[in-house]
Amino acid sequence: MAQMLVVTTENIPGKEYTVLGEVFGITTQSKNVFRNIGAGLKNIVGGEIKDYTKMLEESRQISVERLRQNAAAMGADAVVMMRFDSGSIGQDMQSVAAYGTAVKYTEE
């Protein structure tokens, strides 16, 4: 089976569809204590904290995959209007949510 299409636009060119409803994919990640110490030191001198960048990239990928799984469980063919939201939980955890609208293609 091909991977489910997820787009940030409202429309999929050439496709008609019905809306099934909202769909989410959520993950919460944290780095280990040693990575947090390294990030704290980097915070003093400035610059990109690559471990945290990598963690957020992985979190986005995981949240989109969960979004696809949840949409498939609803019987969706695609997800439109996908967006991300993220936030901190405590001092060393980050939550990422992918959300959008699950849709089912209609016959043309």
Distance CA 70, CA 53 (A): 26
Q: What is the percent of the chain where pLDDT is above 70?
A: 81
The pTM score is: 0.81
**What domains sit in the chain, N to C, each tagged with a CATH number?**
5-105 (3.30.110.70)
CA angle 92, 94, 95 (to 5 degrees): 150
Q: What is the pLDDT of residue 31?
A: 66
Q: What is the pLDDT of residue 19?
A: 97
Q: Which tens digits make up the pLDDT trace of 11-36? A: 999 999 999 999 999 999 886 655 55
> Over the chain, what is the mean pLDDT?
86
> What stretch of H or E contains 70?
helix 50-73
